[in-house]
Amino acid sequence: MDIFYYWQKLEQDLKSGRVGYFAFNTAKILELKARLPSRIWVFKTPRGMKGAVQLVGSLLVSDEPKVAVNADHPNVIYYDPFSSKSVMFADSGTPERIQEVSGLLQYGFHTAFKSNFSGDAGLQPLESNVVRALEAMSADWAKVQMLERVQDAKKVQPINPFARPSS
């Protein structure tokens, strides 16, 4: 099982270097964390395409923070922004890819689409059949390591500079 996360503040967070964790007021993330997810698949609504989603990245979940965390919310899930397995998809914004991803998810997440991913609807479990479909779909897409999308990646420093990235 992995996690579907609708990243509302994607551009803001990448611009400010606020990476390595997602913080929530809702306890739903605790339920999802208890199922030991491997990755967080991140999505956004493409500009001018309400009712569709774009797969923007796949981030490796971490048990502990890899960067200093400044969260206002009580419930946090960590991911490793330094790992080579935390990637952003460079060419996922084509109409064909958006349609393919949206088609895969619209049936299973009908309520989330209907509510425009607000609140808990933006955080969903991705069962293994959907994860396999996303992996197959994105296997040949161009990818960049997540920090390549952060405006000033030098601001993102590991808590322990001697620690190795998660594998």
Q: Along the 167 residues of the chain, how does pLDDT read in single tens digits?
A: 999 998 988 989 998 888 999 988 889 999 999 999 999 999 998 988 888 899 999 999 999 999 988 778 889 999 999 999 999 999 999 999 999 999 988 877 766 665 567 667 678 888 999 999 999 999 999 999 999 999 888 888 888 766 666 65
Where residue 99 falls (left for φ over 0; alpha for ψ -120 to 50; beta otherwise) is alpha
Structural domains of the chain, with CATH: 2-147 (3.10.590)
Q: Which residues contact 163 (CB under 8 A, 6 or more apart)?
A: 66
For the entire predicted model, the pTM comes to 0.89
- Which amino acid type is present at position 20? G
